[in-house]
Amino acid sequence: MDTEELESMPASELHERAVRYAVRHGDFGFLWDLLRAIPAAEAASGHGGEVVNDLSHLSALLSDAMSSGQGELGEALRPLYVEYLAKHPEA
């Protein structure tokens, strides 16, 4: 898929494809980038109060990573998913 096709997909589908591919291929670099991006994406999507909790609780970050394709958070993380999936068209 090219970037234009990826941009037209819902954030939840981008998330599902990117995370599934990263897990299946052991791409911990992408997963770590996702975890690092979640606090800023939460703040950008109006959920700034969750940032402090996430930074102090790794389990919260892992939980967020698994559901980070939904709603405003998914939309805030859309560029990360599109960039990753564009690099891995087989995902």
Are 30 and 83 contacting, i.e. CB atoms less than 8 angstroms apart? no
Q: Does position 11 have pLDDT exceeding 70, yes or no? A: yes
Residue with tokens 């494809």: 17
pLDDT given at position 56: 62
Q: Does position 86 have pLDDT exceeding 80, yes or no? A: yes
Asked whether the whole model's pTM tops 0.85, one would answer no
Residue with tokens 């791409």: 27
pLDDT given at position 81: 92
Residue with tokens 């959920």: 47
**What's the distance, CA 52 to chain centroid?**
19
pLDDT given at position 20: 94
Helices (H), the chain: 3-7, 11-24, 28-44, 49-56, 58-67, 71-87
Percent share of the chain, pLDDT over 90: 41
